[in-house]
Amino acid sequence: MFVSTLAIKGGAPALDRTTAYPWPKQHPEWSERVLRQLKSGKLSIYDRSGVVAEFEDAWSAAHGMPHSLVTNSGTAALHSAYFGIGLGPGDEVLCPTYTFFATSASLFQLGALPVLVDCQDDGSFDTEAAEELVTERTKAIVITHMWGLPCDMDAVVAFAERHGLALVEDCSHAHGATYRGRLVGTFGTASAWSLQTQKLIAAGEGGVMVTNSREIYDRAQLLGHFNKRAMAEMDSDGPLYPYSVTGLGLKYRAHPLGVAFAVGQIAELPSWIKGKQDFAEEIGALFTRIPGITALTLSTPERTSAHYALLFEVDPDLLPGGRDWLVKACNMEGLDDVDTPKATSPLHTLHLFQHPFSPVTSYDRGCVRTSHPVADRLAARTFKISVPCAPTGYEAEDARYLEAVRTVTDKIADHLSRTPGRSGDTAVAKPGKTAK
């Protein structure tokens, strides 16, 4: 039987055009909402009104949390949360090393210090590894629900309570994910989401923070929402109210056009999360029939992932060439979405965390106090791929994406089954056609 040559070995690509998951969708209702906002002339919203208030009310209602604060990025939402809970110079925060750096980088602006903690095999925060890193300076813990899979919140909440720590959830990958049926973001003292283009709720650029605490909410507003909003919304009897007219030098207001694009997406979230579960199972099965590939972030009965991406580990002993060969092979077949998470490198490998630097203090201790073998292994051996959610009206588009994944994995699996042990051991052909 004829076996087509892999593109990485000089054959024709399996797909006739490069394929990545199309996101965000361009639902006409959302575009019309943007146009209406544009035509209204309200391109700055100074107080808590209009589409910003609408988003915050919907977000609070969806999460059963009294206070939501829309910001111009997830980074700003996290900064607002950290300032909100009162962190400052001398404070330490236990932080995952396996996350995107923005999870903890704004702590440097406050003079607080992230202390890096290794992860579990699925990338989740490891409370056992955190135990030995608690010091008399530790004030808080931040966790990221990586790739959309909720952390073990029973363990995380028990850890925070045992040590008397504030808990911040970075939910930037996990809009709508649940742990034992409860939405992520509702466990923390304060929680934050990015609304950047690739995220499940996408404003282009944007973020949102929630908290149950009126005091945290007031402080968070003060950080980036000065003048009309802070003056109208903060408790006028609070100690920081006199600063409300100026804030403290930062501006974190979101662009109304981005918020207008995103606000209609909130109601869709539950059905998107449902839609993602089947696609994740199917994509998981397509890749894991290739020897050496394991899916790491599929949902479990307790943990329903938002599947920002599905993460796989490649064992180079079983698949020669390992992760890098597999990613390149998929890319050269035209499946661009298969990707090595480069920006999400373990934080202990980044200069900022190796040489902590703050504009407001100097540090006498470091961020890196242990080795992080699990995070190192994941960084060396994992790849990720987007998971569709089949929004109404886009089912055919999402089915086409799944078909592309099937076509490429069929070809690679077929090739490997006929030439076992010979995947990455030969040179890549065709100079010029390089994977990203």
Ligand X SMILES: Cc1ncc(COP(=O)(O)O)c(C=O)c1O
Binding site for ligand X (CB under 6 A): 73-75, 99-100, 102-103, 144, 170, 172-173, 194, 196, 207
Tokens of 41: 């002339």
Count helices and strands (H / E) in the chain: 15, 13
Q: In what order do the strands lie in the sheet with 178-179?
A: 182-183, 178-179, 303-304
Rounded to whole angstroms, the Cα distance separating 370 from 117 reads 8
Closest separation in Å from C-beta 406 to ligand X: 28
Residues 6+ apart with CB under 8 A from 415: 3, 6, 423
Residue type, 236: S
- The residue with tokens 């052909």 is 429
Rounded to whole angstroms, the Cα distance separating 53 from 260 reads 11
Closest separation in Å from C-beta 414 to ligand X: 35
Residue type, 57: D
147 and 269 in contact (C-beta within 8 Å)? Answer: no
Residues 6+ apart with CB under 8 A from 424: 319, 320, 321, 322, 324, 325, 326
Nearer to ligand X, 6 or 117 (CB): 117
Closest separation in Å from C-beta 422 to ligand X: 37
Nearer to ligand X, 80 or 172 (CB): 172
Identify the three-state secondary structure at position 191. strand
Nearer to ligand X, 276 or 415 (CB): 276
CA 170 to chain centre: 8
Closest separation in Å from C-beta 236 to ligand X: 31
Nearer to ligand X, 100 or 272 (CB): 100
Nearer to ligand X, 80 or 144 (CB): 144
Hey, which residues does 211 pair with through a beta bridge?
Answer: 67, 190
* C-alpha dihedral sign at 145, 168, 268, 274: positive
Closest separation in Å from C-beta 159 to ligand X: 20
Nearer to ligand X, 194 or 244 (CB): 194
Conformation bin of residue 227: beta by default, left when phi > 0, alpha when psi is -120 to 50: left
Closest separation in Å from C-beta 72 to ligand X: 8
Closest separation in Å from C-beta 75 to ligand X: 3
Tokens of 261: 């694009």
Closest separation in Å from C-beta 229 to ligand X: 20
Nearer to ligand X, 73 or 340 (CB): 73
Rounded to whole angstroms, the Cα distance separating 79 from 250 reads 11
Nearer to ligand X, 103 or 297 (CB): 103
